[in-house]
Amino acid sequence: MSTLCLPEQQTPLLTHIEPLLAAAENYQLGEAVELGASRSAVVDIVIEGQAISLAFGDTKLEGTGYQVRDLWVAPYPSLAEMQQQVANQPQLVVLGLPTATGFADIWHHNGEARANHCHQMGDREPAQAMLLASLALDYPLEDAVTLARAYARSVVYQDGLLAWPLERQCFPRPLTANHSEAEVLGWSSKEVAVKPFAKTDPAKLKLYPVVDTAEWVEKVLELGVKTTQLRIKDPSEPTLPQQVERIIAAGREHQAQVFVNDYWQLAIASQAYGVHLGQEDLETADLAAIQQAGLCLGLSTHGYYEILRAAEFAPSYIALGHIYPTTTKQMPSKPQGLSRLALYQQLIGDMFPTVAIGGIDLSRAESVWQTGVSSVAVVRAVTQAEDPQAAVDAFNRILVRPTEQ
């Protein structure tokens, strides 16, 4: 249970907040949110005992939270100026800044500014309402800002229908180097622009065991698996280059799609089938070199913004994690759950293959598969199975579409 308390002047937002919370309940997107009145001029949200405040316009933020600027009177600051300001002010959230070709929403992330951009922005109140509703539903700030814009736009597209935004056309585009307007708009990014990555074979991308030795890669390929990944987290592991060579040879022998986690230079040098990278790698890895070498690229995502950001790079697949709690890896984010997964899958549609990961076992595979994902990645469900062959066979029986039966 969380609470969302509005000051008097923000109560008109309830016109949007109430149906949005009802839609979220309907889709089972989060815990129930109790609405109340704030005794101060700021909006107060409390989730699991943690309080954040949001101050709009001239209201001053005191304490933890966000100062939201969303009312613009010419002359506007430039996008480059706001990028700098937000990078220096972690609490500043900028909504609907007019730019040369549209509108930008900007927020702070790890010492930098991030932004979405769109040509039509919708109205201010729906955006404010969704920002608050989605924060109260425990979406991270970047997803709340992304949903705020998607909702404000969807109210326009759907002719005033107050519903949870689902369609890609409502969502803004993250400003990355791959955004054709980033340069014209004066947005500077650390990533480089890249062409689309090689495509995977969807028929092979179903059960996707992620394992930590070349021996395990060879073993799962022997068991009939057609997509797998070598994930060795210790970069000083002395046998790393040999293990990568081994898995590439084994992948070729079995005509399988074998990915290397993290070590993209090694993967290029050894002409691996593909590389899997995380969000933080997008700014440091040489994506152009990976693309030019013809390798497939899988990208991790953990929410709306990361999905849209990943899509900008046209990867070979988008991984959606973590769906359920996992003990395999310490996760900074919360488990997404099936309902959020289903909406992410609907948003991505057939634009890119998708891979669900995190806490998936045989008992959960069927419901994950029913969301429409292209693949299910597992660690423990195969490597800790009493009988890995039986586990692989059981997954293979589940991961079938009706047209293939």
Ligand X SMILES: Cc1ncc(COP(=O)(O)OP(=O)(O)O)c(N)n1
The answer to the question of residue 262 lying near ligand X (CB under 6 A) is yes
CB 354, min distance to ligand X, A:
10
**Residue 260: strand pairing partners:** 230, 275
Residue 295 counted as an annotated binding residue = no
CB 78, min distance to ligand 3NM, A:
36
Binds ligand 3NM (CB under 6 A): choice among 128, 146, 326, 375: 326
Do the beta carbons of residue 293 and residue 271 sit within 8 Å?
Answer: yes
CB 26, min distance to ligand 3NM, A:
26
CB 125, min distance to ligand X, A:
36
CA 115 to chain centroid, in Å, comes to 14
Query: If binding means CB under 6 A, how many residues of this protein chain bind ligand 3NM?
Result: 15
Residue located via tokens 């702070």: 108
Pick the piece of the chain touching ligand X (CB under 6 A) from 1-9, 18-26, 185-193, 274-282. Answer: 274-282
d(CA 394, CA 362): 7
> Residue 204: exposed, middle, or buried by beta-carbon count in 10 A (0-12, 13-18, 19+)?
middle
CB nearer ligand X, residue 145 or residue 320: 320
Q: Which does 355 bind (CB under 5 to 8 A by kind): ligand X, ligand 3NM, Mg ion, none?
A: ligand X
At position 349, the amino acid (one-letter code) is G
Residues in 263-302 that interact with Mg ion by CB under 5 A? 278
The answer to the question of residue 382 lying near ligand X (CB under 6 A) is no
At position 34, the amino acid (one-letter code) is E
Residue 230 counted as an annotated binding residue = yes
CB-based closest residue to ligand 3NM? 321
CB 384, min distance to ligand 3NM, A:
8
CB nearer ligand X, residue 176 or residue 261: 261
Pick the piece of the chain touching ligand 3NM (CB under 6 A) from 29-37, 38-46, 179-187, 319-327. Answer: 319-327
C-alpha distances (whole Å) from 57 to each of 35, 71, 102 are 22, 7, 21
Q: How many CB atoms lie within 10 A of CB 253?
A: 10
Binds ligand 3NM (CB under 6 A): choice among 300, 354, 374, 375: 300
Q: How many CB atoms lie within 10 A of CB 2?
A: 18
Is the torsion defined by CA of 273, 367, 358, 237 positive or negative? negative
CB 297, min distance to ligand 3NM, A:
15
Sheet containing strand 103-109, strands side by side: 33-37, 2-6, 43-47, 50-56, 65-69, 92-98, 103-109, 112-118, 173-174
Pick the piece of the chain touching ligand 3NM (CB under 6 A) from 158-166, 198-206, 310-318, 376-384. Answer: 376-384
The answer to the question of residue 252 lying near ligand 3NM (CB under 6 A) is no
Residue 301 counted as an annotated binding residue = no
Please report the DSSP string for 137-161 in residue order.
TT--HHHHHHHHHHHHHHHHHTTT-
CB 280, min distance to Mg ion, A:
8
Do the beta carbons of residue 238 and residue 312 sit within 8 Å?
Answer: no
Tokens linked to 364? 């959960």
CB-based closest residue to Mg ion? 278
**Cβ-based neighbours of 209, under 8 Å, separated by 6 or more:** 216, 220, 225, 228, 229, 377, 378, 379, 382, 383, 392
- Residues 233-262 as x/- pattern, contact with Mg ion by CB under 5 A: -----------------------------x
> Residue 14: exposed, middle, or buried by beta-carbon count in 10 A (0-12, 13-18, 19+)?
middle
Pick the piece of the chain touching ligand X (CB under 6 A) from 5-13, 36-44, 180-188, 272-280. Answer: 272-280
The answer to the question of residue 210 lying near ligand X (CB under 6 A) is yes
d(CA 314, CA 195): 7
Query: Interface residues with ligand X (CB under 6 A)?
Result: 208, 210, 229, 231, 261-262, 276-278, 298, 300, 319, 321, 329, 355, 357, 377
Positions touching ligand 3NM (CB under 6 A) are 210, 300, 321-322, 326, 328-329, 357-360, 378-381
Query: Which residues fall in the annotated binding site?
Result: 229-233, 261-262, 281, 300, 326-329, 359
Residues that bind Mg ion (CB under 5 A): 262, 278
